[in-house]
Amino acid sequence: MEIYRKLQNLFRFGSSRFDGPVLYGIFFLFGMGIVVMYSASVIPAEREFSDSSYYLHKQLLWGGIGIFSFLVFSQIPYQFLVRWSFVFSVLSLLLLISVFIPGLGKSVGTSYGRSFNRWIQIGGIQIQPSEFSKISILLFSSYFFYNFDFKKVKWDRKKIISVFLIFATLILIVIEPAFGTTIELLLVLFFFVLLAGFPMKRLFILGASVLPLLVVLVTQVGYRKKRLEIWLDPYKFRFDEGHQLVTSFRAFFDGGSFGRPVGSGYAHRYLAYSHTDFVMASFVEDFGFLGFFIFLLVVVLLLIRIYFLLLRTKDKLGFFLGSGILILFGFQTILNLFVITGIVPVTGISLPFLSYGGSSLITIFILFGILANITSKENLVL
């Protein structure tokens, strides 16, 4: 009975300042990520740096900064962050521009013959501005839309500048290119417009009108066109560009129900990006479909818990911003899983809390820190 009462108190809304199940959920995912990321990165770390723990040490460092950022942002009132969101957005825009500046931006060539400009190199630190732009876009667009009345639209200078800032950010992310991040942010903006009361019929017509542009971006841009061909028939390209996806399929097959001895599978040796975008393939190879089911269960329960917390928020702004974080986290997780299972074409998208990468890990911790503040006990109707 004592255990039952403790569990009942744990899951009761407002039983502590910050929601226990959400905190346990995100730190469980991060811990799971450390285990599988290390398992998947041992061979590439040994091959590239002669240090099997290289990526583990880096991820623990980023994780420590991420947790510190989470604690800081959970204490800062989200209203304060929103009020400064214009400044954050301008700074984000400048960072996105800086990736194209020689000597500061880092360009990476690909087998498709296309250069990617996604990073800033400062000393030994590499930053991906498009990840941090998620924070500024969420803060700024939630403030822009939460009090937007589509029935009484007055396009003054402030609104025009706001729209320009949002679209300029998206365009720069497309040019980098970071197509997956662009789709994420477009989906968040779509839901903000929907929540703001824009007529659904017109919204879907507007969305349909954008589809031809997306089709052109996918089918007429060289590397994306190639990815589409690989997605349609990965085994045709299994000895070159399709090897990544085919190896991911094999990892799911080899993992079986309960997995293989940790770190011993085929994908750990031969899967490119096995510790970054395709980390879940390595996870399934290690822990099987049982581990995959546990991961999905934790994510689904986390999403449901956040949803019910947001329904109890006192003000509309907190609901908008929190919903944006919920949508971004959920969609990014789903998109990554769809990519590694071949449901959608391959695009560079990390798996929140699990994939290796400092910018993405710190960003998701900051977003959940903001979410923790939004859903703190004093901001809920109990």
Distance CA 308, CA 301 (A): 11
What pLDDT score was predicted for residue 109? 56
CA dist 15 and 12 (Å) reads 6
Which residues neighbour 195 within 8 Å (Cβ) at sequence distance 6 or greater? 145, 146, 320, 323
Residue pLDDT, tens place only, 241-277: 888 899 999 999 999 998 888 877 888 888 887 889 9
pLDDT value of residue 153: 67
| pLDDT on residue 110 | 57
CB-based contact 139:185 (threshold 8 Å): no
Which backbone phi and psi does 102 adopt, to 5 degrees? Answer: -55, 135
* Whole-angstrom distance, CA of residue 320 vs CA of residue 81: 14
380 SS3 class? strand
Q: Phi/psi of residue 145, each to 5°?
A: -90, -25
Task: Please give the pLDDT value at position 154.
Answer: 73
> What pLDDT, on the 0 to 100 scale, is given for residue 106?
75
Quick one: pLDDT at residue 321? 95
The residues of the chain scoring below 70 in pLDDT are 1-2, 4, 6-7, 107-115, 151, 153, 203, 206-207, 210, 213-224
**pLDDT score, position 108:** 67
pLDDT of residue 313: 94
Residue 105 bridge partners (DSSP): 102, 120
Element (H, E) at 108: strand 105-109
pLDDT tens by residue, 114-135:
567 788 887 778 889 999 999 9
Question: What does pTM read for this prediction?
Answer: 0.93
Domain boundaries, the chain: 26-377
